[in-house]
Amino acid sequence: MYVCICKAVTDSQIREAIDRGACTRKKLVHCLGVGRDCGKCNGDVRELLQACARHRCREPKMVAMLPVAAN
Ligand code: FES
């Protein structure tokens, strides 16, 4: 679904950018251009950021498996 009509950016593109590290609205504006024109999408972009942050908090923590040194 299109979130930013002005830049033709979908919610999937925004979620992918968030997963890749665009963790603030400012970073999303920089990498996708959302919110730069009319600004009507800013509320939805903010909601997506919050939803992704909540989802991340519920994900189990990844534990790195380090090789054990052989003696
Ligand atoms: S809908 Fe996103 S800037 Fe206009």
Domains of the chain, residue spans: 2-55
pLDDT at 17: 94
Q: Report the atom number in ligand 1 closest to the C-alpha of 36.
A: 3
Ligand 1 atom 2, closest CA: 4
Q: Report the atom number in ligand 1 closest to the C-alpha of 5.
A: 1
Phi, psi of 13 (to 5 degrees): -65, -40
Residues with CB under 6 A from ligand 1: 4-7, 34-41
Rounded CA gap, 6 and 55, in Å?
27
CATH label, 2-55, candidates 2.60.40.420, 3.30.160.150, 3.40.50.720, 1.10.10.1100: 1.10.10.1100
**Strand-pair category, 9-10 with 2-4:** antiparallel
More confident residue, 58 or 20: 20
**pLDDT single digits (tens) 3-47:** 999 999 999 999 999 999 999 999 999 999 999 999 999 999 999
Report the predicted TM-score, pTM, of the whole model to 2 decimal places.
Answer: 0.77
Rounded CA gap, 71 and 21, in Å?
39
Which residues contact residue 36 at a Cβ distance below 8 angstroms, ignoring those fewer than 6 apart? 6, 7, 29
Rounded CA gap, 43 and 63, in Å?
34
